[in-house]
Amino acid sequence: MSVIERKTLETEIKAEFNLYGTGRHEINTGVGFFDHMLTALTVHGGFDLKLSCKGDLEVDCHHTVEDVGIVLGRALAQELGDKGGIMRFAEAFIPMDEALSFCAADISGRPYLVYDAAFDTEKTGEYDNCLTEEFFRAFAFNAGITLHIKNLYGKNDHHKTESMFKAAAYALKRACAKNADGSVMSSKGTL
């Protein structure tokens, strides 16, 4: 289990993260819809997460969402260590009612995010829909992974966002799964 703490003038975050858990979660960021998305990520990814965040929500939820991405990315990187013995690559298509999203992951040590989603509304609850990209960018760059995330279609912004978080959860779960012989999945011999 990794314990990561981050304190800035904008946020104060503590996360306890177990990559190979059972989906147990206790999450409080002060942003209800974001808590719902993080719950989906942990339950469907099979991660355990205890996370508390006190952020400057009187400004908006940008710092909270981005900084949680930073903390979770660092926690994942710590849990993966040298990245030996994992499958490395995985992908998932996940529907939620009328919405369908895709995520491909490469646990490579090379951080990158390709993100493609459009929303019809500015907010879902108090959550700014544009922050989904900010979360995944902060997460991918701090974890040292490559993520490609795309919402293919949908009408309901809640469903579009949730299908992206769940697609990321399943892709990460499969990419982080142990491989049969414990080898490093790279022709270079290291990641």
Report the C-alpha gap between 125 and 102 in whole angstroms: 24
Q: Where are the domains of the chain?
A: 2-175
> What's at 28, amino acid-wise?
N
> What's at 187, amino acid-wise?
S
Q: Specify the pLDDT at position 187.
A: 59
Report the C-alpha gap between 41 and 81 in whole angstroms: 21
The CATH class for the domain spanning 2-175 reads alpha beta
Average pLDDT, integer, range 3-14: 97
Report the C-alpha gap between 166 and 43 in whole angstroms: 9
pLDDT (tens digit, 9 = 90+) per residue, 22-36?
Answer: 999 999 999 999 999
**pLDDT at 191 > cutoff 80:** no
Whether 97 contacts 67, CB under 8 Å: no
Nearest to residue 31, comparing CAs of 83, 68, 80, 6? 68
CA atoms 48, 82, 133, 155: torsion sign: negative
pLDDT (tens digit, 9 = 90+) per residue, 155-183?
Answer: 999 999 999 999 999 999 999 999 877 77
pTM score, whole prediction = 0.95
Residue 100, strand partner residues: 95, 153
Dihedrals φ, ψ of 86, to 5°? -110, 165
What burial class does residue 120 get, using C-beta atoms within 10 Å of its C-beta: 0-12 exposed, 13-18 middle, 19+ buried?
A: exposed
